[in-house]
Structure 1
Amino acid sequence: MAADKRGGNKTIRDLVLSMLVLGVVVYLIYLFIPHDSKETPVKTETVGYSVELKQARRDAPYPVAGPEGLSAKWHATSVTYSAGDRRNVTWHLGFIDPDQQYVALEQSNGDPTGFISQVTINAHRDAGRTVAVGGTSWQYYTGGRYDALVREEKGVTTVVLGTAPDAQLQRFAATLKP
């Protein structure tokens, strides 16, 4: 029985020592990993998008839009082109505007209702509210996370969305060229 007690005490001692070592490791990880809760969750690294835009314009079954004439204060932060399903080709281009707000361009030739709901994170159409931008009419959508301007044309749905104010979304939409 004495051997069992010593073995039991040794096991408890090892457990306590292991927990102390683990606590020190967790503390060091916490100490060296940034954890600013006020930091924006939007990625702010600038990315180039001209190559992807050219590829999308050559490949997509619809006129792919891209901004022209944005000031250097606008920073592209994300770009994706997906053409795996030719009935649902998508184009995405995300930016941080001069006021550090998120603005994105989304396009697809897929189901407009599902696409709009997905990219706007379930924003709702603001019935009767349209905005004329550059001679083109856009439907306004409001949502919990993003507001959006939506234009549905034959074969393509274009969405400009973001956390930026309406005027900034309109300014961005005015720069879009096919």
Structure 2
Amino acid sequence: MEPEERRPAPATPPEHGPDPSVPTPDPRPATDPAGHAPEPSTPPSTPPSTSPAAAMFDPAAPGPQPSTPADPAAQGQAAGVAVAVEGEQSDAQAQAAAAAEPARLGKRAGRSPRDMAMSLIVLLVPIALLLAFYRVVLSGEAPVTVDAAPAIQQAQSAGAFPVAVPEGLSDDWHVTSANFKRAPEGASLRLGYVAPDDDAVLLIESSVPAAQLLPAELGKEAKPRGTFRDGEAAWRSYLARPGETALVLTDQTRTIIVLGNSDEKNLQALAAAVS
């Protein structure tokens, strides 16, 4: 067997005393060649500066002392006082505005009935004048009238039947339509009127046979109910469509019908005008 390798023991530093390997400086002052110890050096003294810049950096020099920072609590208290003052001013302004508003409302509410009536009159008078001008000058409520002469002349020129022209009607009668038409079964003249009671009345003169014309104009359920005489002419009265009455005059060449929802006296007046 080979002998075990011996390892060197770790060096243990001495517990006390300096390391003998480190040289110890000599505490004695160095001496010159003559054997005298040098005198200790004294730094040269510097006279105090009298310049202002130096005085600023000199702690012992008199001068302005640095400002002490403000207390945050004092600043917050001052800000709260300012906000409270502004709030009181805003409240005072709002109260002043609220006090002024009822004064204006009270002035309006204090109008008398006479003032209100005068205001209404001022508004209504121009409207009344405009309505009067529309009715009287422009005849705004009068129905739109047409000239029946061209249609009557056309029917007379056709010679399909003797044309009876209404005569003697008052100015309260207004012609609103007029036309003449030919058809294979015959020719017809139609004149539309507005009666004095503002109801519509239709005058029909036709060469179409009565058996065909009456159901077409009066309705299939029309029923005779009496007779109206004007001189030698005898008109038969019919109940036509709901709300309508008809007067019918027939002969060998033509049939005349007066039809409308007007009062029967107006229908008789128109029938008498063409008899």
Same fold per TM (> 0.5)?
A: yes
SS in 1 for 2:168: coil
Instruction: Supply the distance in 1 between the matched residues of 2:171 and 2:186 (Cα, whole angstroms).
Output: 32
SS in 2 for 1:83: strand
**CA offset at residue 123 of structure 1?**
5.5
Identity, in percent, stands at: 29
Matched, 1:50 2:149: yes
5+ long unaligned stretches in structure 1: 1-43
What is the identity, as a one-letter code, of the residue corresponding to 2:270? F
What is the identity, as a one-letter code, of the residue corresponding to 1:62? F
Q: TM-score, normalised by structure 2?
A: 0.45
Instruction: Supply the distance in 2 between the matched residues of 1:119 and 1:45 (Cα, whole angstroms).
Output: 24
Q: Which residue of 1 aligns with 2:273?
A: 175
Q: Which residue of 2 aligns with 1:5?
A: none
Q: Report if the CA contact (8 A) 2:207-2:254 is conserved.
A: yes
SS in 2 for 1:117: helix
Q: Which residue of 1 aligns with 2:212?
A: 114
SS in 1 for 2:224: strand
Q: Which residue of 2 aligns with 1:152?
A: 250
Q: Which residue of 2 aligns with 1:124?
A: 222
5+ long unaligned stretches in structure 2: 1-142
Q: Report if the CA contact (8 A) 2:238-2:247 is conserved.
A: yes
Q: CA RMSD in A?
A: 1.7
Moved over 3 A (4+): none
What is the identity, as a one-letter code, of the residue corresponding to 2:254? V
Matched, 1:89 2:89: no
Instruction: Supply the distance in 2 between the matched residues of 1:131 and 1:73 (Cα, whole angstroms).
Output: 23
88-97 or 109-118, larger mean C-alpha shift: 109-118
Which of 122, 138, 142 aligns to 2:235? It is 138
> Rg bigger for which structure?
2
Matched, 1:104 2:202: yes
Instruction: Supply the distance in 1 between the matched residues of 2:235 and 2:208 (Cα, whole angstroms).
Output: 18
Matched, 1:70 2:169: yes
SS in 2 for 1:67: coil
The 3 A distance-change label for structure 1 pair 122 and 66 is farther
SS in 2 for 1:71: coil
Q: TM-score, normalised by structure 1?
A: 0.68
Instruction: Supply the distance in 2 between the matched residues of 1:115 and 1:155 (Cα, whole angstroms).
Output: 13
Task: Give the count of matched residue pairs.
Answer: 132
SS in 2 for 1:52: helix
What is the identity, as a one-letter code, of the residue corresponding to 2:170? S
Instruction: Supply the distance in 1 between the matched residues of 2:162 and 2:238 (Cα, whole angstroms).
Output: 23
Q: Which has the higher contact order (CA 8 A, sep 6+)?
A: 1
The answer to which structure has the higher strand fraction is 1
Q: Report if the CA contact (8 A) 1:123-1:146 is conserved.
A: no
